[in-house]
Amino acid sequence: MRKVDCRNVVRIVFNVLHKRIDGRTAELQQTCASKRGGLVSTLAMLTEVVARDGTRLHVVHFGRDDDAVDDAGFLEGAPKTALVVHGLGEHSGRYAHIAAQLRTRGFDVWSYDHRGHGRSQGARGVLAESEDLLHDCAAVIDAVLKEKKLDGSVMSATDGATSQHVEQQQQQQPVLLLLGHSMGGAVVGRFVAEHTYPVDKRAKWYRPVTYCVLSSPALAADLSRYQRFMNVTVARLAKDVTVSNGLEAAWLSNDPKVVQAFLDDPLNHNRISGRLANFIFKAGDETIEAAPTWNVPTLVMYSVHDKCVAPRGSAAFVTAAPQVVVTGRPFEEMGHELFNEPEKAGVFACMLDWISAQFVQVGKVAIETTADALAKVAV
């Protein structure tokens, strides 16, 4: 039998797929351009999500950059969604500049205000139930994907769809990236940690996540056993009682303008209840406990001099997790909000390079798989 040069075959297949996707992308762009007020305005209609207990959560759609360059051209058609999860005492409006960076990688970016934060309902810094923030995150993901018609429903041949249509839709399953900062990092970390549990043991709020970025995550706090005990006790006996979170605005950034803007923002607050504090501690502990079996590609960026959260939590997580899955990036001489430091360009570059590498790696696996399949056929 004649030998087949697999490299040439793979190159031909890659070029064909690339042209097909380019054609499909151009078709979609033309459709969107001819229907202004269609896709774009429909996505922008989602401004709030009602949580399971009726709490209304404010949702922000930062949009997608249609001119963004996709680092993996043959994956350009895969819908990519990013959800930004903010920290304690702040709100989603402070993340527009981060969303702008994610958009350069083809992500359609969304965010929301936690209950008791920003424009969402709820007493400031209060949780009714310990897992409210996890259920809320799942509810927002569901609403966003449903709004985008990417809620995971796949046609089957019994629905009248051809096998080709079914295969095409399965290949277009959405890519979901969660980016969590500070307390939002604890929420996202605990949310993604559920992937490490057996399917039949996962919580109701479990949702599949493709990539995870943790920025100064609150995975550990330097509290004594007595302080932790008091937080647990208060959480049980006086769930609605709040106190100051004890954090100084000056710890956020070395940029005085950022600090002053935070203080001047009426949507920010410094309240925290015992139940919310207890959730953060528990979420951090459980995220680190799940690290050895972590299976979602994750980037952890943190300041080694952070005063708002204990950087040892991030270091412990990175050390315990598989190096092929989790990437740790400590930064020197920076405050808590890495994305708001004078040297933030380097932080953004770190995040974007990591994201690009994930898509390049996926592309390599796809090409190698195709080459193996073609080689078997040629034998």
Whole-number average pLDDT of the chain: 81
Name the residue with tokens 């990688």: 105
CATH number of the domain that 334 lies in?
A: 3.40.50.1820
What mean pLDDT comes out for the span 34-38?
Answer: 32
Residue 335 lies in a domain: yes
Residue 126's domain spans which residues? 44-153+174-345
Residue 375 lies in a domain: no
- Are the CB atoms for 255 and 225 separated by under 8 Å? no
- Pinpoint the alpha helices (H) of 197-245: 225-237
pLDDT, tens only, 114-165: 999 999 999 999 999 999 999 999 999 999 999 887 664 433 333 444 444 4
pLDDT of residue 16: 39
| Overall size of the chain counted in residues | 379
Residue 23 lies in a domain: no
Q: What's the pTM value of the predicted model, to 2 decimals?
A: 0.79
Percent of the chain beyond pLDDT 70?
71
Sign of CA dihedral 224, 225, 230, 235: positive
Residue 248 lies in a domain: yes
Q: What's the gap between Cα 184 and its chain centre? A: 10
Residue 364 lies in a domain: no
Q: What's the gap between Cα 186 and its chain centre? A: 12
- Could you tell me which residues come within 8 angstroms of residue 229 by beta carbon, excluding any fewer than 6 positions away? none
Domain count, the chain: 1
pLDDT of residue 119: 98
Which of 55-64, 73-82, 172-181, 233-242 ranks highest by mean pLDDT? Answer: 55-64
What mean pLDDT comes out for the span 69-96?
Answer: 81
Sign of CA dihedral 44, 50, 51, 52: negative
- Pinpoint the alpha helices (H) of the chain: 6-34, 39-44, 96-103, 132-147, 163-171, 183-193, 225-237, 256-264, 274-290, 311-320, 344-378
pLDDT of residue 227: 60
Name the residue with tokens 């009682």: 241
Residue 46 confidence class, pLDDT cut points 50, 70, 90 = confident
Residue 160 lies in a domain: no
pLDDT of residue 123: 96
- Could you tell me which residues come within 8 angstroms of residue 185 by beta carbon, excluding any fewer than 6 positions away? 85, 87, 214, 215, 216, 217, 218, 219
Residue 108 lies in a domain: yes
Residue 2 lies in a domain: no
pLDDT, tens only, 320-357: 999 999 999 999 999 999 999 999 999 999 999 999 99
